[in-house]
């Protein structure tokens, strides 16, 4: 916010807690979940060797990628449909 005669910047906090939660969820998804998904996808693309440990590692990485992808998609749907009654109910349960 700009105030006439002042050189410094003034910031105001979001008053609506639901809107604040949506903004935080979107930013965290963009900065944390999406890069993690990219790395998990790259790691799960490796071909497992003959070792059982390698096969187990690749299988676990694929499962983790699928789980994080589903969680991210769910988070996207909740933040998209903030005005939806079901999304509001889920947001209240999360709080």
Query: pLDDT tens digits for 16-31?
Result: 877 888 888 889 999 9
Query: Cβ(65)–Cβ(53) under 8 Å?
Result: no
Q: What is the pLDDT of residue 67?
A: 95
Q: d(Cα 80, Cα 86) in Å, to the nearest integer?
A: 12
The pTM of the full predicted model, rounded to 2 decimals, is 0.67
> So what's the pLDDT on residue 68?
95
Report H helices in 1-95.
17-28, 34-44, 52-80, 85-94
29: nearest Cα among 92, 78, 64: 78
According to the model, what pLDDT value does residue 14 have?
Answer: 81
């Amino acid at each position: 916010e700009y105030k006439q005669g002042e050189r410094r910047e003034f910031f105001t906090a979001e008053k609506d807690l639901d809107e604040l939660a949506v903004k935080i969820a979107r930013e965290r998804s963009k900065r944390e979940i999406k890069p993690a998904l990219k790395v998990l996808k790259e790691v799960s693309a490796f071909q497992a060797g003959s070792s059982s440990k390698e096969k187990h590692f690749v299988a676990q990485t694929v499962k983790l990628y699928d789980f994080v992808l589903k969680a991210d998609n769910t988070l996207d749907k909740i933040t998209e449909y903030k005005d939806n009654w079901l999304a509001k109910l889920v947001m209240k349960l999360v709080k």
